[in-house]
Amino acid sequence: MTRDGIDLDAVLGARVALRHRIGERDGRPLFTDAVGTLSDGGGGTVVVETRKGAVRVPREAVVAVRAVPPAPPRRASWSAVTRLESLCADAWPALVDRPLGAWRLRAADGFTGRANSCLAVGDPGMPVTDALAAVQEFAAAHEGVPPRVQTPIGSPWSTAVQRAGWVLDRGHDAGAEVAVLVADLTLLTGADGRVPVSLTDRASSTWWEFSEGAEPTPAQRHVLDPGPGGPPTVFGLAGPEPLGAVRGALVEDHLHLSRLSTSPAARRTGVGTALTAAAARWALARGAKWAVLQVALHNTGTRTFYERLGCTEHHRYHYLTPAPAASPRPSPHA
């Protein structure tokens, strides 16, 4: 309790707006406010963790305090989004990856939307309508590649593509909208070790069988296990049966996680956590600091799993395709 009867202990751990005295001027007290999470600072003080840093306040200087709602999440800058999208594309290398200014035209015989779409971030170096015409020409020249653009939701590039008449690709099986999640790698290393995990730098036949269900096609092998020409990659298998699998690729200071799967009998037994932790430790030992993964919005189970481990949403992207041609109206004289 403060001497004014304010119960600071009742709001410890909450986000608060706290008013406190900071001195006098011309015999009149001066006050200021701090907004952030409140904790006990010891020695008769409290600490408010504001966005600009910690503010330590003597308890006796507090004149008012109230709990306030959580701060709205800050949107990542478009430069940060651009970098992260580029890292994810490097971690998922397409068979063909051709620059179109800052855009990337990609093809991989139809294996995954990411590797068979144009990544539209930055300046394509030409009017957007001309760039989209180039996307369509590229798609027509590569089997299994539809005219499709992958671009961050709400970005200026998405706005420009939609103004040119392209629409959400609702026919995309993997989901037209995707969340990009990030985490401090140290948050993902907390498995208790009860589930053994083996890691290899090349995908074994057992990994391919469990993860993909068959021997890989050339496109699958290039995207998932490109070898010396691609990013450093790790493949994890849990248990001797096996019980689960995961892929990790190291791109600069990020570990890109993908292909996490567990057998139905092993779900909710810690297999996914153990696989994630093993990949995270592998990346930490090689200088990585962050994890990144891409999860379709409709895949709520995987999103919830990673959020429990400490992952947060950085941004979202969606796939856009040319609007279907309008059906001609029947002639009234037919």
pLDDT single digits (tens) 195-230: 999 999 999 999 999 999 989 999 999 999 999 989
DSSP label of 8:
G
Burial (CB count within 10 angstroms: exposed 0-12, middle 13-18, buried 19+), residue 330: exposed
| Residues 302-330: tens digit of each pLDDT | 999 999 999 999 999 999 999 986 444 45
CA distances for 120 relative to 11, 48, 102, 275, 317, angstroms: 46, 41, 8, 32, 10
Our CA angle for 13, 19, 20, nearest 5°, is: 105
For residue 99, pLDDT beyond 60:
yes
Give the whole-angstrom CA distance, residue 124 versus residue 103: 5
91 close to 231: Cβ distance less than 8 angstroms = yes
Give the pLDDT of residue 145: 93
pTM of the entire structure?
0.77
